[in-house]
Each structure stands twice: as structure tokens, then as C-alpha cells.
Amino acid sequence: MEIEFHGAAGGVTGSMHLVEAAGRRILLDCGMLQGGRELEAGNAAPFPFDPAGLDAVVLSHAHIDHIGRLPLLVARGYRGPPPTCCR
């Protein structure tokens, strides 16, 4: 298993973690960055992985800093099943 931290590491917004295990790529959260123009400009940045290569998205909870970039993820190629949240 490998985990890559792409948000909320060294900060408190923009939660996004890529988990790779058993040949699957699962994104945990896809949050928006908050806290000023400079930080928020990162919301339009390319994802550090290929959204089309994801098998699934799992959401920890429905706050904007955990789900806010989901529309962009889809616009940039995610075609997996709808995200699973909070079960």
C-alpha cells in the first residue's frame, strides 16, 4: 500500500490523499484550498495525478475543504463511480 498526501499536509484545507493498494488507485477526499488569494489559486492547478486513472473516490465528510474540487476532478477526466461518502 502506498499513500500520497496532496493536500492538508502542512495545512488544514484541501484534503486530498491518493491511496494505491491491490492494483487500485483510490482518492480519499478532493478538497478545496481556503485561506487567501494566493493559496486559493492552487484550486485551479493541475492535479498531481491523472484523474482518469482513478478507480474510485471516497469522501470522509462533506465539508468544502474535503469535496470542493470534485467538479474539477470530473472535468479533468475522472470517470469512475460516484464518490462514496460517510458510510
For residue range 26-79, what is the model confidence (pLDDT) as tens digits?
A: 999 999 999 999 989 999 999 999 999 999 999 999 999 999 999 999 999 999
- How many angstroms separate the CA atoms of 11 and 22, rounded? 29
pTM of the model: 0.92
3-state secondary structure of 70: helix
3-state secondary structure of 58: strand
- pLDDT surpasses 80 at 86: no
- Total structural domains in the chain? 1
CB under 8 Å to 29, separation ≥6 — which residues?
A: 7, 8, 15, 16, 17, 58, 59, 60, 66, 67
Domain range enclosing 16: 2-85
